[in-house]
Structure 1
C-alpha cells in the first residue's frame, strides 16, 4: 500500500484504515500527542473513518463481500460503533456483516469445505468475533440476537499466538496450555456463550420454575470450574489476564442477578403483593445487581487494567442499572440505597455518551431509547428520594427532565476510590417470600408504599419510550415491568 497506493486493493485499504482507527481509539489524547504533534486524536479518527468509508464503498462490499472487507467491518464495529457511538447503527452494521459472512460461508467449518488450515482458522476467528459483537444486542439495543444459536457445533478458534499461523502451514498447531494473544478473546467468547445459554435461550411461554433456575445455577457453577482451570488459572502474562478474569466474573455476576430476578418474579406469581410497583423487586436481586455494577466499575475505572478501560466502558450493565433505579423508586428509604447510589452514579459517569451529552441530543436511535428509559427512571428515583427524605442525592449532573433542582453538580467526583460496597446480607428465598405472604406490609417499607404506587402509576411503559420492540424482549420486560 505504501509503495503503490494507486494499485492497492480496496478491501485491503479498508482493513488498514480500520486498524488505524482501532489503534487511535485505544490511545488517550495525551498518548496521541506524543505520536503526532500536528493532528488531534479526533481529527485523525475522522480521517480514518472517511478513508474506511471510501475504501469499503469502492470495494463494493455488499455485492462482492470477502474476508478482508468483513475483517474491516468487524474491527470498525468493535472500535467505532461500540466505543464512539453505539447507536442503533451498530446493530445494523453488525447484522449486515453477519449476513455478508453467511453469504460466503464464513459460518461453516472450513475443513469441511476443503480449505487450507490457515484460512479455516481465520474464518473461525472472524465468525466467532461477530458472534461476540452480536451477543450484546438485547441489552445494548433492545433487539434479539441476529445469531440465535451460539452452540452451533462449530469449534472455537485455537488458543495460539498469531505467529503460529501462516499461509503455507500444512496443519494447525496444537491448542496451547499457556496464555496467548488469543486467550482474552476466547474468555470473552466463553462468557458470551454462557450468558446466551443461561439467559437468552429460556422458555418464552412462562416464567421459569425454581427447579429450572437451580439447574441453570448448576450450569454456571460447572462452567466456572472449567473456565478457571482452562484459562483463568494460567500464570498472569499481563494486565490483560487480570482483566479477562474480571470480565468473566462480571458476566457471571450478571447471570446470577438475572436468575435472582426471575426467581423473584416466580415468587410474586404465588403471593399477594402489596402493590404492582413491587413486582419482581427483592433484596436478593437488588444486592446481586449492585454486585454486578461494582464488578463492572472495577473494569471501566481502570482498577484492573488502565490501558484497557476504553473497551470495558462499552460493557455498560444496563439490566443491573435499570433494576437498581427501579428499586430506588419503590424503596427510597431503605439503608442500602445510600451506597447503591454511589454505584449508580459511577455507572452513569463511565458511559462515554453520558459524559458528552450525545444521547440527550440524539433521541431516535435504539440505544438512546434505553438511555431515555434510564434517564426517566433516574429522575423518578431522585424525586422519590426527595419526597421521602426531603434531600436529593448528589450526582455528577442533573438530567434535563428531572424536577429536582438542588442537586449538587460533581458531588460524587471524589467517590471513585470509595471502598467496596457492603450491602446487608440478602434474605433467603423463604424469608423474602414471607415478607409479602401476609396481609401486613413489611414495617420498614410501609412508609414508602403510597409513594411507590404513585410512581408506578405514572411511569411510562417501554412502548412510550419509542421502543415498542423491547416489549417483546423477556429480559427487559423482567427488569422494568416486573412481568
Structure 2
C-alpha cells in the first residue's frame, strides 16, 4: 500500500476497501507505538494522550478484524494488518490475548497457502516474495510462545522445506518484476529481519524440551555450544565491514540470542552434573556459579539494545524480546545471595530492565494495568520483592553485627538507635532509610517471604493461566525434568558452520 492509498483512505474512508481501511489504522497504531514508546524523549505533539490514542486505534482495529470478511475471505492485506497489530501489541503486552491473535493470523495464513512457496503455486515473483516475508514474520512472532506463554509454537519455525526471503533491498522487488533479484552477500534492508529469523530458528531447537532423546546430555550440550559459537562468529564476520547503526543493532540482537542460549545450556549442564554426582551438599552460592554470570551477560546484552543513542528509537521493538528466563534466574539467585560484590551488577541490570512503573525509584511499587493480574511481570515482581526483602534482612543483620561490635568496644548508642538513622544502599545508586524500605515492604506484604521460611524452598508460582515449561522450573526452583536438557541432534542438520544462511 503506497502513500497515495493512505491519503485517499484518509480523505474518503467510507469508500475505502475493508482491508485498506484496516491497514491504514494498523499503520496509525504502529506509528504511535514506535514514536511514543520511550518516555525519556521529548514529548510528541499528538491529538490526545498517547494511551488514549492507542486505545482508540485498537478499538477500531478490533472492530475491523472481527468482521466476516477476514474470517471467510482473508487476503494478503488483511494478514499484513494482523502482523503489524500483533507486533505492536507484543511490544506493549505479554498477555495471552496477543498469543491467541497471532495464532489466528497463522491459521488464516495457512488457509490461503501462505506457508507454501508461491513459486510452487505458480504465483508471480513479487507475490511469492511478499508472502514469504509475511509468513516468516508470523513464525518469528510465534517463536516467542514458549518463553512468553509456556506453550510450544503452533507452527514449525524450523521448516527446512520453505526458503527464507531474499537478502535484497525493497526497491529490488516490485509488482511487475518477471524474475527474482540476485540476493546480496552484504547488508540490505532485509538483513535485520533475516538475522532475527535465523536466530529464532537456531534458538528454538536449542531450548526445545520435547522429543529429546540424547544418551549423553553433557556431550550434547558441548555440541550445541560449538554450533552456537560457530553461528555467532559467522554472524559477526558477515557484517563486520558494515558500519551502520541498524547493522550494529542487528548483530547485537543476534548476539543477545546466542548469549541466552549459552546461559540455558550452562544451567542445564549444572543441573545435569548435580544429578549425576548427587551433590546434595553443594554449598557454592548461586551468584558464584557460571550460570549466574552468563545470565547477567545476557541481561546486559539485552540492555545495550535500548540504553540510549540510536538504539533508543527501537526500544519498543526490542521490548518484545524481554529475557524472561535470565531475569527470573538472576532474581532467584538474588533471593539466596542478595548481597556481595557479585550482586551489584545484577541488581543494577534488574532495575534497568523492569518497567518504569515498577522501578524502585518510581511512583509505584505495585503492578497495575498491563503489568497486573495474569502478567508475567507480576510473578517476576514477586521474586524481586522477595530478593529485596532478603537483601534488607541481610544488610540489617550486617549493620546490627557491626554496631554491636562497636558498642562492645566503645560503649556507644544501642543498635536500634543507630539503625533508625542508617541508610541502606539500593541498586542503581538509589538509597533509602531502613524505615523507607520497611514502608515499601508493607505495601506489598504478599510478595515478601516469611522470615521463618527457608529461602531455598521452591517458590509457589504455579498459576492456571501460566503453565511453566521445564525451563521455568529450572530457573525458579533449580531443577529440570529428567529429559529436559536432552536434544535431538538432527535438528541441527540444516546449520553447517560455514553455510551462508542469510
- Which of the five TM-score ranges fits, normalised by the shorter chain? 0.7 to 0.9
Note if contact 1:246-1:295 (Cα within 8 Å) is conserved in structure 2.
yes
The alpha-carbon deviation at position 177 of structure 1 amounts to: 2.8
CA separation in 1, counterparts of 2:25 and 2:221? Answer: 46
After TM superposition, the structure 1 stretch with the greater mean CA deviation from structure 2, 175-184 or 279-288, is: 279-288
1:296/1:303 CA distance change after superposition, 3 Å = farther
Q: Is the 8 A contact 1:313 1:351 kept in 2?
A: no
- Alignment match, 1:159: 167
Distance of 2:156 and 2:283 partners within structure 1: 33
Q: TM-score, normalised by structure 1?
A: 0.79
* Aligned pairs (5 A) from 1:82-93: 82-93=90-101
Tell me if structure 2 keeps the 8 A contact 1:207–1:262: no
Instruction: Measure how far apart 1:338 and its partner are.
Output: 2.2
User: 1 CA distance for matches of 2:453 and 2:217?
Assistant: 28
Partner of 1:373: 379
2:255 is aligned, of 249, 263, 267, to 249
Cα 1:142/1:202, change in 2 over 3 Å: closer
Q: C-alpha displacement at 1:137, in angstroms? A: 1.4
Aligned residue-pair number: 426
Mapping of 1:388-427 within 5 angstroms?
388-390=394-396, 394=426, 405=438
Show CA shifts across 1:413-463 (max 9, x none): xxxxxxxxxxxxxxxxxxxxxxxxxxxxxxxxxxxxxx9981233x43332
Distance 1:345 1:275, change over 3 A: farther
2:142 maps to 1:143: no
Gaps of 5+ in 2: 1-8, 398-423, 442-450, 480-502
Superposed, 1:38-437 pairs within 5 Å as 38-58=47-67, 60-79=69-88, 81-200=89-208, 203-204=211-212, 209-230=217-238, 232-236=239-243, 238-274=244-280, 283-303=289-309, 305-349=311-355, 359-361=367-369, 366=374, 368=375, 370-390=376-396, 394=426, 405=438
Alignment deviations for residues 342-365 of structure 1 (CA, whole Å, 9 cap, x no partner): 111111146899978895456886
Asked if structure 2 preserves the Cα contact closer than 8 Å seen for 1:242 and 1:305, the reply is no
State how far apart, in whole Å, the 2-side matches of 1:215 and 1:321 are: 26
Compute the RMSD of aligned alpha carbons.
3.2
After alignment, is 348-357 or 202-211 more displaced?
Answer: 348-357
Does the Cα contact within 8 Å between 1:276 and 1:453 map onto a contact in 2? Answer: no
Bigger radius of gyration: 2
How far off is 1:299 after superposition? 1.1
Q: Residue 158 of structure 2 contacts residue 201 of structure 2 at CA under 8 Å; is this kept in 1?
A: yes
**Higher relative contact order (CA closer than 8 Å, sequence separation 6+):** 2
Contact between 2:302 and 2:323, CA under 8 Å: does it hold in 1?
yes
Measure the CA separation in 2 of the matches of 1:344 and 1:364.
18
Distance 1:372 1:307, change over 3 A: closer
Residues 215-256 of structure 1: CA deviation (Å, up to 9, x unaligned): 0011112212332343x22422x3211211111111111110
Structure 1: which 5+ runs fail to align?
A: 409-450
Distance 1:297 1:468, change over 3 A: closer
* Contact 2:235–2:251 under 8 Å retained in 1: no
* Equivalent-residue separation in structure 1 for 2:22 and 2:68 (angstroms): 8
SS of aligned partner of 1:270: helix
Residues 1:454 and 2:461 aligned together: no
- Structure 2 match to 1:481: 477
Aligned partner of residue 127 in structure 2, secondary structure: helix
